[in-house]
């Protein structure tokens, strides 16, 4: 199997395709690096932590510094969905492409891969890793741009958490009532 550094003409990459017209078509360093170790594509399982999510992704691209997951796993990991206009979460869409110095998308055969780490760098999202032995963990901070409704307009961030019986409760279910949100701890 060989990684292609140019995307197949698939609808999902429409944006990237159009950008080729204006960008220098040099091969991104990341893709070249991935191509060298293409035999073991998708061999390493990782667990991705984001907010209260902890999702295991079975296949990632071999890359010592960056985390590439199959594009189809994106929504499960961080809620974003790939659309023609970019990686989208509700009304927010972040342009992503296979081009540039730090590409977020990469194409390999029939599959599109998404770099969670390049995406994080683009959005000033922090991440840290814990690797070694069986352990391969990637922990991501909240994404600043997704917090703009709170920091700019004081909209209460929504969340869903389990009650004592384990049943999920979502804050926004209480719209229409005044809410006193209390955090506390036993410690």
Partner 1 sequence: MYEELKDQGLEIVAVAQDTAGEEAAGPFYDAAKATFTTLIDRQHLVSSLYDMVNVPTGVMIDEEGRVVRYDEGTYTRTYQAGNLSFGTDEYVPILRDWVAKGAASEYVFTPEQMAERLPERDPAELEADAHFRMATYLFERGEREAAEVHWSEAQRLHPESWNYHRQDWSFTPAEAGANWVRKFQSLEGKPYYAPLEKPAEAPPE
Closer residue to partner 1, CB minimum distance, 27 or 53: 53
Closer residue to partner 1, CB minimum distance, 106 or 125: 125
Q: How many residues bind partner 1 (CB under 8 A)?
A: 51
User: Smallest distance, Å, CB 32 to partner 1?
Assistant: 29
Closer residue to partner 1, CB minimum distance, 58 or 160: 160
Binding mask of the shown chain, residues 6 to 45, with x at each position contacting partner 1 by CB under 8 A? ----------------------------------------
Instruction: Describe the strand order of the beta sheet including 46-50 as a list of residue ranges.
Output: 53-57, 46-50, 135-140, 127-132
Window 47-106: residues binding partner 1 (CB under 8 A): 47, 49-52, 54
Q: Is 164 in the site for partner 1 (CB under 8 A)?
A: yes
CA–CA dist 60, 40 (Å, integer): 9
Q: What backbone torsions phi and psi does residue 182 show, to the nearest 5 degrees?
A: -115, 125
CB 116 within 8 A of CB 123: no
Name the token pair of 52.
């209260």
User: Smallest distance, Å, CB 86 to partner 1?
Assistant: 22
Window 104-143: residues binding partner 1 (CB under 8 A): 124-128, 130, 135, 137, 139-142
Of the candidates 74, 162, 155, 149, the residue with the CA atom closest to the CA atom of residue 118: 74
CA–CA dist 69, 42 (Å, integer): 8
Q: Quote the strand ranges of 84-126, DSSP E.
A: 86-89, 92-94, 105-108, 111-115
Q: Give me the residues that bind partner 1 (CB under 8 A), please.
A: 47, 49-52, 54, 124-128, 130, 135, 137, 139-142, 144, 147, 150-159, 161-164, 169, 171-172, 174-187
């Amino acid at each position: 199997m060989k990684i292609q550094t140019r995307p197949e003409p698939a609808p999902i990459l429409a944006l990237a395709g159009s950008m080729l017209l204006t960008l220098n078509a040099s091969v991104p360093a990341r893709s070249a690096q991935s191509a060298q170790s293409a035999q073991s594509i998708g061999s390493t399982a990782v667990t991705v932590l984001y907010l209260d999510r902890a999702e295991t992704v079975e296949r990632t691209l071999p890359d010592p510094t960056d985390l590439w997951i199959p594009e189809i796993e994106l929504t499960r990991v961080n809620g974003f969905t790939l659309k023609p206009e970019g990686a989208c979460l509700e009304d927010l869409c972040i342009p992503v492409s296979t081009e540039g110095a730090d590409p977020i998308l990469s194409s390999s055969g029939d599959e599109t891969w998404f770099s969670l780490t390049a995406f994080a760098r683009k959005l000033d999202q922090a991440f840290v890793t814990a690797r070694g032995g069986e352990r391969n963990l990637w922990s991501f901070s909240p994404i600043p741009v997704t917090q703009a409704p709170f920091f700019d307009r004081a909209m209460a961030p929504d969340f869903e958490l389990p009650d004592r019986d384990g049943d999920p409760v979502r804050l926004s279910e209480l719209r229409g009532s005044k809410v006193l949100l209390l955090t506390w701890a036993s410690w």
